[in-house]
Structure 1
Amino acid sequence: MTDLKLLALDSEDLEVISTHVQDAVIRVGDMGYARKDRRFAMLMNRFDWESGSGRAKGQRKRAALHFDGVQSVATAGIDTNAQDGVLELLSIQYEAIDGPAGIIELNFAGGGSVRLGVECLEARLSDLGATWAAAAKPAHVLD
Structure 2
Amino acid sequence: MTDLKLIALDAEDLEVVSAHVQDAVIRTTDMGYAKADRRFALLMNRFDWTSDEGRGKGLRKRAALHFDGVTDVKYAGFDPAAPEGVLELLAIHFEPTDAPSGIVELRLAGGGTVRLDVEYLEARLADLGAAWAAAAKPKHD
What TM-score, normalized by structure 1, do the two folds share?
A: 0.96
2:77 is aligned with 1:82: no
Aligned position for 1:96: 96
Aligned position for 1:117: 117
RMSD of the alignment, in Å? 0.9
Distance 1:131 1:84 in 2: 23
Q: Name the % identity.
A: 72
Alignment of 1:1-143 (within 5 A): 1-52=1-52, 55-141=55-141
Distance 1:50 1:79 in 2: 32
Superimposed CA distance per residue, residues 19-48 of structure 1 (whole angstroms, 9 cap, x where no aligned partner): 000000000000000000000000000001
How many residue pairs align between the two structures?
A: 141
Q: Which runs of 4+ in 1 moved over 6 A?
A: none
**Is this contact kept in 1: 2:58–2:134, CA < 8 A?**
yes
- Stretches of structure 2 that go unaligned for 5 or more consecutive residues are none
What TM-score, normalized by structure 2, do the two folds share?
A: 0.97
Deviation of 1:129 (Å): 1.3
Instruction: Point out the more displaced range, 94-103 or 44-53.
Output: 44-53
Superimposed CA distance per residue, residues 74-105 of structure 1 (whole angstroms, 9 cap, x where no aligned partner): 00011112122100000000000001000000
